Structure 1
């Protein structure tokens, strides 16, 4: 079988000794891509950021595109890990969805550099910015986003069936909700001394806007006290 970028990265993940080294590279790459974009970032930039050599990076990745794809993949895996506990939580579907949206916002904040790479990858796919086979690999990565969104859609529809949400078209409703919870990827900036409580307020607000966009019938009941303060 022909080895692709996907199978190569999977092979590295099965090597415990390379785990920390790989994540160090990914974190440095994510911040470099976040600051300069794909076109403006070089392997030299990433190596300088992690105070290493190009050879160390090329030990894992054969090209900048392959490194970019793995940062994208890691960002999506972080999102899935964040919402996974919410999927099996007990209680009504709207509570599960609310928890998923909050977890998603928190992931957007805590892993912002990775999520900016995901969004740049989305735009690059739309603009057909890479040659084959890189464009095809971006298309494969897009399937990770579709599968992730499908988790939300299923819980949304369950909540609507239980009478907690009021929307007509699930795809339109889901895209609208994601506009609210994806916002911190673009506008959030950490402040010195910012407390965990302040971050949770951002999480709560973004998730509330998303639930309202879905016609959440418990909105006023749950947030009446908070809004009256």
Structure 2
């Protein structure tokens, strides 16, 4: 049960529909070639419906990025907060990230592509909006860095640079966006859960402390 008023719920749902259409349009055409008309066509509505929520194309593009990061943070934070080992946390977080890369492929493919971000702050779109998105990205990465640092401290992981390894882990997970294609809008391939599990295992295996692993095998 939610305390959010019905009108606010409808407004949020309508705004998310605009973002869904924009994510599809930007993925199909790229930022520079996408117009508000293209987004309206994808939405099956008018430009006025888009402008009701976003003043510029740049605002809309950054809105897509923000929603992608909000979804990622919401998916991973409960796993980060769980009362489990660092190894389990990292595995579950990596698996959740991999699944999101496939389940919300349009959003996530845009979120991991940085080349067009600077274009979004041209004209009337304030640079502050870009900085807010970058801050969310850093917040998300820090969740992985913190868990890796915890695993190093507890002896679960090798002595490595936690920040560097967080980037390496996310880099491998984000690469899914390059080759994975969904079965259709909002659909995933049947093997998606297995792919997510394999990637999570790959991330953890690269960090496991070999001395601890040896001790575990001898038990």
**Structure 1 length as normaliser, TM-score?**
0.80
Q: Within the alignment, does 1:108 sit opposite 2:106 as a pair? A: no
CA shift, 1:164, in A, is: 1.2
Task: Compute the displacement of 1:207 (Å).
Answer: 1.3
Using the TM superposition, give the Cα deviation of residue 220 of structure 1 relative to its aligned residue in structure 2, in angstroms: 9.5
Q: Does 1:160 align with 2:160?
A: no
Corresponding position of 2:166? 174
CA deviations on 1:121-180 (whole Å, 9 max, x unpaired) are x2234xx44437544432321110101111111111111111111142122211111122
Does residue 201 in structure 1 map to residue 201 in structure 2? no
CA distance in 1 between counterparts of 2:194 and 2:57 reads: 37
Work out the number of aligned pairs and report it.
Answer: 205
CA apart distance, 1:213 = 2.6
131 and 56 in structure 1: CA distance in 2 versus 1, 3 angstrom threshold: closer
Does structure 2 conserve the Cα–Cα contact (< 8 Å) formed by 1:173 and 1:213?
no
Q: Distance in 2 between matches of 1:195 and 1:42?
A: 30
SS at match of 2:116: helix
Q: RMSD of the alignment, in Å?
A: 2.5
* Greater than 6 Å deviation, 4+ residue runs: 218-222
Is 2:37 the counterpart of 1:44? yes
CA–CA distance in 2 between the matches of 1:79 and 1:221?
35
Q: Which has the higher contact order (CA 8 A, sep 6+)?
A: 2
Q: Whose helix fraction is larger, Structure 1's or Structure 2's?
A: 1
TM-score normalized by the length of structure 2: 0.84
Do the aligned residues in 1 keep the contact of 2:36 with 2:57 (CA within 8 Å)? yes
Q: Which runs of 5+ in 1 are unaligned?
A: 1-13, 223-229
Q: SS of the counterpart of 1:105?
A: helix
Name stretches of at least 5 consecutive residues in structure 2 with no aligned partner.
1-6
Partner of 1:80: 73
Q: What's the secondary structure of 2:90's corresponding residue?
A: helix
Q: Deviations over 1:77-134 (max 9, x none)?
A: 00011112212222211111111111111111111111122223x2234xx4443754
1:29 maps to 2:40: no
